[in-house]
Structure 1
Amino acid sequence: MDALKTSPALPRSAAAGAFLPRESGLAMEPCRLDQPMESKRSPATLQIALLFRRLFIFLGTALLTIAGGYEMYGVVKVGGVTVLEALLLAFFLLLLAWVAFSFMSAVAGFVVLATGRMGGLAVAHDDPRSELSSRTAMLLPTYNEDPHELMARLRAMYESVAGTGQGAQFDWFLLSDTTDPDIWIREEMAFIALRRDCGADRLYYRHRSDNTARKSGNIADWVRRFGAAYDHMIVLDADSLMSGETIVRLVHAMETRPSAALIQTQPVIVNARSLFSRLQQFAGRVYGPIIATGNAWWHGPESNYWGHNAIIRVRAFAEHAGLPELRGRRPFGGHILSHDFVEAALMRRAGWAIYMAPELGGSFEEGPPSILDFAARDRRWCQGNLQHLAVLPARGLHWVSRVHLLTGIGSYITAPMWLIFLVLGLLISLQANFIRPEYFPKGFSLFPTWPQQDPILAAWVFAATMGLLIVPKFLAYLALISRREERSSFSRPFRVLVGILSETLLAALIAPSMMIFQSVAVTEILLGRDAGWQVQRRSGGEVAQREIYRKLAAPTLCGLLMGLSAFAVSLPLLLWMSPVIAGLVLAIPLGLATSRRSASAGLFATPEDRQPPPVVLRANELAALSRIEFTGALQQLREDSELLISHLESVPRENRRKFERIDVALATARAKIEQCDSFDEAVKWLDKSEVRAVLSNAAVLQRVVELRCTGP
């Protein structure tokens, strides 16, 4: 993608509609959560098999929780159960149930992979050479992302689909919600260059000035304008990549399964460049298969949606997945942030099947490059998942869909629960050490009452709980080495085992800091603080040391306070809590070490590192090419007539009405422009919000570019 040079003006007819096809919209209205939806469809499922699968998961979870709770009661019952001990037991039961639930799904995934009997949708066996009869739209939403890298990924996928011979069945839409005016114009420049290089007219670009409802609103806007022309849409993220073979197989699966509304792939993390992102990439690649396979095994046609790298039946989505605004103020009210879970639940409520295809492959994404970036993304997801508390009571939802919503909520609520659990343990120890016990309570007693717990039994309960967390990792290792193709795609089995041990140690040290971050996030949300819409730093981003020191100071302080409290009780208690305390005290060194870019993956190498898939390799090659030269939004439009004509055609015509709300930024920009004698003055005087307003108004933009230029 060479730098775009100034081109002669296109005829108006050539530029007209250059960015978008003719509109063909579908109605998409917000659904009602307080009214059940009459199900007109009944997907064919193996109900008896699913019943036994779900009994295995939930009965196993219940038995493990009861057994662990009974043993924990044996720890605290010696000498009577105090109020603090009762609270400790209650939190332990809730947390153990959460761990046991994940453990049972992992065991199921291991058994399925070991026996070779997949429990999800067998999409991997669909023939990618089958001729497709349907039309599919590839949707790539973006918000202030790097246009050069975005177009590299888009072009790599476009070429990969074209390589299957079925590219004519796909149209590609770059759906921009970008607010930065410079990035907006760079997107348009890169898009024009992309269309020229590919020589194709099935590539489209739409910029939305009104960012209502964020990504879900972006997709809904596309459905209302263009959805009727397509049978399916494959929704991507800005960092998504999918191979052409996978895309064609997904479409074929939808054509041959008319009851399906959505098929979700399992994205694999690629392009990790820092130690932190390599840890995520390695963990997802090694442990992900048994978790996703286990979930698909018992979810059946009530699976979930992760918001990207999935194919969706457009009419089912338009008719049943319109999201309502939640009542009340932000952060709980307003537009639903984590829209994917809710959209899947609403389509399943209408009788459509939602499937997961974990064995498919060819689906990729990137991960956050540091603990801080992971925590920032997690903060937004936390708010979105806690919003689901308002969706849970919706009438008519399938009970498995409610489990998905509860799982999303629980993934964040458990962080403050673990913190409270640790604090309760400290308080009980401090109470026993510093508060004088009442050995002879009021009333007749032959023997004194000694405050104590059973330390040996406590050690066994702790070991068993840790086992539920660690055993799935080794089951994932056994599943990996038991399959010849998977085993050969990694490095030597012993090296993978050492990688698992190293990842487990580092993850255990990082986990306490994430517990603090998530606990703070939950607290902020409960206090009414909105997360906003922040731009994500992708895998290639660098983190400033000052930012690491500032943001990891709180976990470090928590670790010091917890360590001092434990040491004040006894050295054994300090040693007992040392894994958590060490992770918190070392938060800053860990943050610095894991955010640095590393040239080699080392122990955490994955098959995608050793032999990058063609679509990933092609995207990286394109991203490494020289970038388009850029001088500024207004300057670029003035210099490039082709870009200016295309941009003006894409901007909605002004339709002013009496007494309508005044756009303050546009009004200010108009006033400033009227006082400017030259183009250079206007460029210097207008701020970013005003430039954005000018770019959205054809008449004002033309007025600006027509100003005389005083420069050379």
Structure 2
Amino acid sequence: MFARRATFAVLFFLAMTGSLVLAAMALAPGGLGFVDIVALILFAFTLPWMVAGFCNALIGFVIMRYAADPVAAVLPAVGKVRDDDRVTASTAILLCVRNELPVRTIRNLEPMLDGLCASGYAERFHLYLLSDTSDAALATAEEALFSELITTWRDRIAISYRRRTVNHGFKAGNIREFCERWGSRHEFAVTLDADSFMPADAIIRLVRIMQVDPKLGILQGLIVGLPSTSMFARIFQFGMRLGMRSYTIGSAWWQGDCGPYWGHNAILRLKPFIAHCQLPLLTGDGGEARHILSHDQIEAALMRSAGYHVRVVPREDLGWEDNPPTLLEFMRRDLRWCQGNMQYLRLVTLPNLTPVSRYQLVLAILMFVGSPAWVGLLGLATAALIHCDDPANIMRPDLGSALIAWVLLMWFSPKIAGALDVLLVPKERRAFGGAGRFTVNFAIETIYSIVLCPILWISHTIFLSGRLFNRDVHWMGQVRDDHVVPFGLAMRDLWPQTLVGCLSLGLVLFYQPWAIPYILLLAGGPAFAAPFATVTAWPVLGTLAARIGVGRLPEETTTPEHLLELALPAITPESRPPLTSSV
């Protein structure tokens, strides 16, 4: 493991150093001035997340192509488990909800319950419906429908429902209350979010792995998106599917027993979790106690510091989730993550954390800190262009082009690695609808990401600026169903992005029209943020995309039986696109 971590560290150092040297050489045709040095500092803040992605993708791609079993290569315990191993441990299944539609939640639960009962191990499982719902109407519906669910399954599997009236400690507090009340009854706990779907065989597989390795404290399953009829969600989850594959395998190879925990679709060993993973309270600016919003990664760090392993199973059949159907819903969730990750600034120095755990916390912070740096680079680039008399005085054309190509390669490397792996395996190509459709979808997702990311950078920058004045976001229920985003609403929420993008494009167009293709990479998305939010939310466009195969996922080609039970519109026979290629 030391050699693996040293390999990653060397790759990371070389990519960081090489990127900065290339940038310095590109910016120095007339020597490095004050503005150039500021640009290099900002560029350095954008690099860690991209460089980590590039290194993980490179390692992951090599493992995917050359390991006989990529999953066993990063999780040896998988090789010790057989499909006929008995399930002997008592496992709680924890579903955490807050202001969610109970009908949708029950839709995702019943196939899982049916599978557990059919497995013959139903008596080893107990489902806990842990509600923090504060909306009175939803609470009434929730109580009625969850009570009906308990009655329906009473003689087959144990189900308990509890609703807290105060959202104390957010989701981590919800689970902590379960631990104090019922945790001693069970050996393991599977954590689910309101939008999670895990089939019974996936849960049983995780339990079996935990049984054969008593040092495992947290075992995280890979999570992929459920087929959707939202255009925004379809393209996002297509890209996520490609990127997660290489990134997770690569990071699991060198992180080893310090793996990730994403807070759901995972299994915990309850005794050490209860003993060692209670989150500390943070002190607010006014001296009041503040709870941690992003609980998952710090819980993983505490579990590892207690001597237990945290690992990931990089398989794509262990669990699914709904992705936000619109840009505005996506941004709401994204800012909640941003606020939570910024709390890690106070936790990086906790005693007894492993170096890898500290690295993970720092990287989670830099994931969002890089956004103001990107916005700063956009501002510097715009100012430099409108004041330049000769483009060669700003950046050497040859090295500048190489720098842009290198940044794009690092930015998209996890998705490129995933795409190459798909294209090189005939079975994978067919699962994604054939090489032609897959290539078109990859091109669409690339443009989509170039538009989306700068919009989010500006959103993060505004929010982080507001954090200086104690601006907070709150944990509320998501709107998970497809819905229209009126253009007026999009403009109201996205006017800062529109203003920044249009101002940058307008100034460059007026002073240096030749530079529009370059500034478009950073300013194009924000300039068109409002129409992008509106168009990608059109239900009719999403339905058409599902029908013709835009953003097509393997589950839409060959649908697992447990997903058919969900009756998702995107995988009904009417919406499933026909196969047009066998290669």
**TM (normalized to structure 2)?**
0.91
| C-alpha distance 500-211 of structure 1, shift in aligned 2 (>3 A) | same
* Structure 2 residue aligned with 1:196: 151
Q: C-alpha deviations, 1:492-536, integer Å up to 9, x for none?
A: 122111111111012212222112112112111232101122221
* Equivalent position to 2:561, from 614, 629, 649: 614
Q: Distance in 2 between matches of 1:296 and 1:226?
A: 32
| C-alpha distance 571-330 of structure 1, shift in aligned 2 (>3 A) | farther
Counterpart of 1:92 in structure 2: which amino acid? F
Query: 1:58-207 to 2 correspondence within 5 Å?
Result: 58-116=9-67, 117-118=69-70, 119-122=73-76, 126-200=81-155, 202-207=158-163
Shift of 1:165: 1.7
Is residue 299 of structure 1 aligned with residue 255 of structure 2?
yes
| C-alpha distance 478-455 of structure 1, shift in aligned 2 (>3 A) | closer
* Structure 2 residue aligned with 1:477: 419
Q: Is the 8 A contact 1:124 1:249 kept in 2?
A: no
Q: Distance in 1 between matches of 2:568 and 2:248?
A: 31
* Structure 2 residue aligned with 1:343: 299
Q: Is the 8 A contact 1:136 1:170 kept in 2?
A: yes
Q: Distance in 2 between matches of 1:379 and 1:337?
A: 11
Q: Is the 8 A contact 1:331 1:525 kept in 2?
A: no
Q: Distance in 1 between matches of 2:226 and 2:184?
A: 34
Q: C-alpha deviations, 1:281-328, integer Å up to 9, x for none?
A: 211222221111111111100001100000000011100000111112
What's the RMSD between the two structures over aligned residues?
Answer: 2.3
Q: Is the 8 A contact 1:263 1:310 kept in 2?
A: yes
Q: Distance in 2 between matches of 1:339 and 1:412?
A: 17
* Equivalent position to 1:310, from 266, 272, 277: 266
Q: Distance in 1 between matches of 2:347 and 2:17?
A: 29
Shift of 1:431: 4.4
* Structure 1 residue aligned with 2:551: 604
Q: Secondary structure at the match of 1:108?
A: helix
| C-alpha distance 140-284 of structure 1, shift in aligned 2 (>3 A) | same
Shift of 1:122: 4.8
Is residue 590 of structure 1 aligned with residue 546 of structure 2?
no
Counterpart of 2:50 in structure 1: which amino acid? V
Q: Is the 8 A contact 1:173 1:203 kept in 2?
A: yes
* Equivalent position to 1:409, from 365, 371, 390: 365
Q: Distance in 1 between matches of 2:152 and 2:57?
A: 46
Shift of 1:609: 2.1
Q: C-alpha deviations, 1:158-198, integer Å up to 9, x for none?
A: 11222222111100010011111221121121122212333
Q: Secondary structure at the match of 2:74?
A: coil
Q: Provide structure 2 residue ranges, at least 5 long, that are not aligned to the other structure.
A: 572-583
Q: Is the 8 A contact 2:325 2:482 kept in 1?
A: yes
Q: Distance in 2 between matches of 1:539 and 1:129?
A: 39
Query: 1:318-333 to 2 correspondence within 5 Å?
Result: 318-329=274-285
Query: 1:138-537 to 2 correspondence within 5 Å?
Result: 138-200=93-155, 202-329=158-285, 334-359=290-315, 361-433=317-389, 453-537=395-479
Counterpart of 2:559 in structure 1: which amino acid? P
Q: Distance in 2 between matches of 1:506 and 1:112?
A: 28
Shift of 1:547: 2.0
Q: Provide structure 1 residue ranges, at least 5 long, that are not aligned to the other structure.
A: 1-49, 435-449, 625-712
Counterpart of 1:518 in structure 2: which amino acid? H
Q: Is the 8 A contact 2:490 2:530 kept in 1?
A: yes
Shift of 1:581: 2.6
Counterpart of 1:492 in structure 2: which amino acid? G
Shift of 1:568: 4.1
- Which entry has the higher C-alpha Rg, 1 or 2? 1
Counterpart of 2:102 in structure 1: which amino acid? P
Shift of 1:413: 0.8
- Comparing 338-347 with 577-586, greater Cα deviation is found at 577-586
| C-alpha distance 180-485 of structure 1, shift in aligned 2 (>3 A) | same
Q: Distance in 2 between matches of 1:175 and 1:499?
A: 39
- Comparing 237-246 with 612-621, greater Cα deviation is found at 612-621
Q: Is the 8 A contact 1:299 1:400 kept in 2?
A: yes
Counterpart of 1:159 in structure 2: which amino acid? D
Q: Distance in 1 between matches of 2:433 and 2:175?
A: 41
Q: Is the 8 A contact 2:46 2:371 kept in 1?
A: no
* Structure 1 residue aligned with 2:576: none
Q: Is the 8 A contact 1:121 1:357 kept in 2?
A: yes
Q: What is the identity percentage for the equivalent residue pairs of Structure 1 and Structure 2?
A: 29
Q: Secondary structure at the match of 1:273?
A: coil
Q: Secondary structure at the match of 2:383?
A: helix
Q: Is the 8 A contact 2:77 2:212 kept in 1?
A: no
Q: Secondary structure at the match of 1:203?
A: strand
Shift of 1:452: 5.3
Q: Is the 8 A contact 1:433 1:569 kept in 2?
A: no
* Structure 2 residue aligned with 1:577: 519
Shift of 1:451: 5.7
Query: 1:642-661 to 2 correspondence within 5 Å?
Result: none
What is the number of residues matched between the two proteins? 559
- Comparing 403-412 with 51-60, greater Cα deviation is found at 51-60
Q: Is the 8 A contact 1:330 1:529 kept in 2?
A: no
Counterpart of 1:113 in structure 2: which amino acid? M
Is residue 549 of structure 1 aligned with residue 491 of structure 2?
yes
Query: Which structure has the highest helix share of the two?
Result: 2
Counterpart of 1:127 in structure 2: which amino acid? R
| C-alpha distance 395-582 of structure 1, shift in aligned 2 (>3 A) | same
Q: Distance in 2 between matches of 1:607 and 1:240?
A: 18
| C-alpha distance 331-474 of structure 1, shift in aligned 2 (>3 A) | farther
Q: Distance in 2 between matches of 1:332 and 1:484?
A: 58
Shift of 1:412: 0.8
| C-alpha distance 619-123 of structure 1, shift in aligned 2 (>3 A) | farther
Counterpart of 1:153 in structure 2: which amino acid? N
Q: C-alpha deviations, 1:15-56, integer Å up to 9, x for none?
A: xxxxxxxxxxxxxxxxxxxxxxxxxxxxxxxxxxx2222222
Counterpart of 2:564 in structure 1: which amino acid? L
Q: Is the 8 A contact 2:384 2:394 kept in 1?
A: no
